[in-house]
A and B are shown apart, each in its own frame.
Chain A
Amino acid sequence: MKSSKMEMSEKRIGYLLVAPALIIILIIAIWPVIRSFWISLFDVRLNDPTRSQIHYQYAVDVEKVAQIYPVLSKNLRETGNKSARDTSTQLQEIRQEVEEIKGLMDKNKKFSKQYEQVDELLLNGTPIPEELKFVSVDQQTGEQLQKRLVAVQNQLKKLVEQKKLKDDTLYGLAKGLSGAMISPNFIGFDFYKKFLSDSRMWASLGNTILFTVISVFLELVLGLGIALLINRKFFGRGLVRAAVLVPWAIPTVISALMWKFMFDGQNGIMAKFFELIGIVPDMGQLLTTKAGSMFAIIFADVWKTTPFMALLLLAGLQTIPQSLYEAAEVDGASKVQQFFRITLPLLKPAILVALLFRTLDAFRVFDLVYVLTGGGPANATETISIYAYKTMFGQLSFGEGSALSVVVFICVAIISIIFVRWLGTDLVSDGRRK
């Protein structure tokens, strides 16, 4: 019997001890997932300065305006003075318009103040601090500014096309000035809608499922076989167990490279072997055809993770009391009957846990495919994680890539829920009996 005071302090210490881990997990793992979802609702592109981050509102890039506006205004006047009459009038009108636009910007007190500061900093050649770079404007002004800047840009473009201007300097400057307008890049669920009809997304999802189902199934069957094989006393048992651990312990990248070398179409020994025994008609086809390369990544994955599966199942097998088999023997049950009536049912929890871990691991496969095939040939082995990575770091389209990564997350969540339903809450229950 404990006093309630003791009870209180134990509770408090418990929460206190768990808190650091929980807070770190919350900040470093859970928050980013929520953030990923949030980013996926915006068209964020790192290669486009006006969309390189999330913009909730219209904004003006003060630095750009301060750099371009004076030059544009001056050039418009000078070119206007040198040009033929009708062009000159047009340029003057444009100049007036540009000045009016600037005037509209200046109506925003914050803008005019920041503009002066930035202008001075630019004169001195000092870098502009982040907080001075942008000024938010309300939606009405923002839309108006953007429309008018684009109109100016188009007018100048027309003049260039009509050969009324010698070069496109003015057009370039005007284009730069409209680039100073930052519009909100919230697009809601547009990326998700796009993916619904994106054949590459469905193909990558299909590849991922195909890879997961086949490799996990093979790993389970082979792993169970190996576990049954080594679940006994024999000479060199420790050595076998150590050998089994090595593929699991080496980096996936290393195993992927080893297999890439052995699957090589000209010099790969495994490719040659597969050709000899007739798995592929020609060794060059292993990494150049869809079926061949899918086979290659599944093979490499099975090689690397079957040992892990075998170890988990072996540990499960060792918890089955030997007396059950002895009793079955006495009752005259055959080995096959023993396997289906005793081993399998009692091993079921271990199998399900191993399946859960392996399925999730296989579903988020990245390293192996990235190194072994790069998703090729022609996206034939592209998994959804690879597609998301390429969208993010190849095209620098972070909003779109995040949407894909959210899809991966949802799939993983669904798979986990199904397994946990199957397993029950047994997985996390307190081992301490009341």
Chain B
Amino acid sequence: MKKKNGPLFYSLLICFLFVVLFPFLWQFIASIKPPIELFGEKAFSFIPSQPTFENYKRVFTERPFHVYLWNSFVVATLTTLYCIVVASFAAFAIARLHFKGKTIILGIVLAVSMFPQIATLAPIFLFTQSVGLTNSYLGLIIPYTTFALPLAVWNLTAFYRKIPVELEEAAKVDGASIMQTFRRVILPLALPGTFTTAILVFIAAWNEFLFSLAINTDEQYKTVPVGIALFQGQHTIPWGEIAAASVIVTIPIVIMVLIFQRRIISGITAGAIKE
């Protein structure tokens, strides 16, 4: 079975990588082109004749992009923190304790994670409007729970199940109560899994578009995806600025993926693949 990877393999691999990465490359090139080179003759050239960081500057000076970044960061962080806390308790109970109805509870969690967001949008929007939560952080954190909490419960349950039972039983023999076992044994062991789940929830909340588009329409409360999607130019779409903003958003993601790739992959596959 083990054999040398031939040139065919590497050329396929390079093709694949090129297709995956080309849009990012092109986006970067567009972001350092002066506006005039985005259109006409120079539109297809790979090397800008006069590279400039003007687009990056404009994103922060002409547009409140830093406000979008901050809003996204606050909303995604708070959503992640609160969902992870609530989900940790539930996941521990589902994965470790004996009680009736666990399968049904997990089934509900899974079913809710499959809900189309549009089906909850009208009542949630009307609710946020009636209590004055439109254009606020809480107005997004509440609806984000609909996808973040099931995701967190589902993933954490999968991680908790992987922790060996022996340690828990040893703690029990030593006379530890259930909550002591949870705090002293399970939580420390589940820390990597919890961290991984937090990354996934954060990404999901950071990327969310529909609720944000509907609920936070004020410039001061827009999140990154909505902010960029609604960038307006005077006559044309401001592609240079969009490209610069995209690059700014993509760089931290690339760094995070490089550092945590193993964790993220184990997180994506945790809930889906049985070992």
User: Which residues of A approach B to under 8 Å, CB–CB?
Assistant: 7, 9-11, 13-18, 20-22, 24-25, 28-33, 35-36, 39, 53, 226, 229-230, 232, 234, 238, 240-259, 261-262, 266-267, 269, 272, 303, 307-308, 311-312, 315-316, 319, 322, 325-326, 329, 349-350, 353-354, 357, 360, 363-364, 366-367, 370-371, 385, 388-389, 392-393, 398, 401-402, 404-406, 408-409, 412, 416, 425-432
CB distance from B236 to the nearest CB of A (A): 10
Tell me, in angstroms, the Cα distance from A392 to B21 when the chains sit together: 37
Contact across chains for B250 and A389 when beta carbons are under 8 A apart? no
Residues in B neighbouring A430, C-beta threshold 8 A: 102-103
Once A229-B13, A249-B203 are accepted as A-B contacts, the answer to whether A398 and B23 lie under 8 Å apart by CB is no
Tell me, in angstroms, the Cα distance from A240 to B242 when the chains sit together: 27
CB distance from B250 to the nearest CB of A (A): 6
Contact across chains for A246 and B254 when beta carbons are under 8 A apart? yes
Within 8 A of A (CB), among B8-55: 9-10, 12-13, 16-17, 19-21, 23-24, 26-27, 30, 38-40, 43-44
Tell me, in angstroms, the Cα distance from A402 to B206 when the chains sit together: 26
20 further A-B contacts with Cβ under 8 Å, apart from A13-B97, A250-B207, A398-B122, are: A11-B97, A14-B99, A21-B90, A22-B108, A25-B109, A29-B120, A32-B124, A53-B126, A234-B5, A240-B13, A245-B265, A249-B264, A250-B250, A251-B209, A251-B224, A266-B43, A267-B40, A311-B269, A385-B118, A416-B111
Which secondary structure dominates chain A's binding surface? helix
Residue with the greatest number of chain B CB neighbours at <10 A, chosen from A312, A385, A408, A428: A428
Residues in B neighbouring A21, C-beta threshold 8 A: 86-87, 89-90, 109, 149, 153
Contact across chains for B87 and A14 when beta carbons are under 8 A apart? no
Contact across chains for B118 and A428 when beta carbons are under 8 A apart? no
Residues in B neighbouring A18, C-beta threshold 8 A: 89-90, 93-94, 105
Number of A-B contacts (CB under 8 A): 291
Residues in B neighbouring A412, C-beta threshold 8 A: 114-116, 119
Contact across chains for B265 and A14 when beta carbons are under 8 A apart? no
Contact across chains for A385 and B146 when beta carbons are under 8 A apart? no
Q: Is B191 an interface residue (CB 8 A)?
A: no
Q: Is B225 an interface residue (CB 8 A)?
A: yes
Tell me, in angstroms, the Cα distance from A349 to B97 when the chains sit together: 27
Contact across chains for B272 and A350 when beta carbons are under 8 A apart? yes
Contact across chains for A11 and B98 when beta carbons are under 8 A apart? yes
Contact across chains for B122 and A39 when beta carbons are under 8 A apart? yes
Residue on B with the closest CB to A267? Answer: B43
Tell me, in angstroms, the Cα distance from A124 to B17 when the chains sit together: 71
Tell me, in angstroms, the Cα distance from A392 to B264 when the chains sit together: 36
Residue with the greatest number of chain B CB neighbours at <10 A, chosen from A18, A53, A257, A371: A18
Tell me, in angstroms, the Cα distance from A212 to B116 when the chains sit together: 14
Tell me, in angstroms, the Cα distance from A230 to B253 when the chains sit together: 22
Tell me, in angstroms, the Cα distance from A398 to B153 when the chains sit together: 32
Residue on B with the closest CB to A360? Answer: B114
Residues of B within 8 A of A (CB-CB), count: 100
Which listed residue (A33, A230, A431) contacts B120, Cβ 8 A? A33
Once A21-B149, A234-B9, A426-B274 are accepted as A-B contacts, the answer to whether A254 and B114 lie under 8 Å apart by CB is no
Tell me, in angstroms, the Cα distance from A357 to B24 when the chains sit together: 26
Residues in A neighbouring B86, C-beta threshold 8 A: 20-21, 24
CB distance from A373 to the nearest CB of B (A): 13
Contact across chains for B274 and A431 when beta carbons are under 8 A apart? yes
Once A14-B93, A24-B145, A405-B116 are accepted as A-B contacts, the answer to whether A246 and B124 lie under 8 Å apart by CB is no
Within 8 A of A (CB), among B103-141: 103, 105-112, 114-126
Residues in A neighbouring B92, C-beta threshold 8 A: 17
CB distance from A68 to the nearest CB of B (A): 26
Which 8 interchain pairs have the tightest Cβ spacing? A21-B90, A14-B99, A315-B269, A35-B123, A17-B93, A32-B120, A364-B116, A14-B97
Residue on B with the closest CB to A399? Answer: B122
Tell me, in angstroms, the Cα distance from A329 to B1 when the chains sit together: 8
Tell me, in angstroms, the Cα distance from A416 to B116 when the chains sit together: 12
Q: Is B249 an interface residue (CB 8 A)?
A: yes
Residues in A neighbouring B229, C-beta threshold 8 A: 253, 256-257, 370-371
Contact across chains for B268 and A312 when beta carbons are under 8 A apart? yes
Q: Is B62 an interface residue (CB 8 A)?
A: no
Contact across chains for B93 and A241 when beta carbons are under 8 A apart? no
B245-266: contact bitstring with A at CB < 8 Å (1 yes, 0 no)? 0100110011011100100110
CB distance from B7 to the nearest CB of A (A): 12
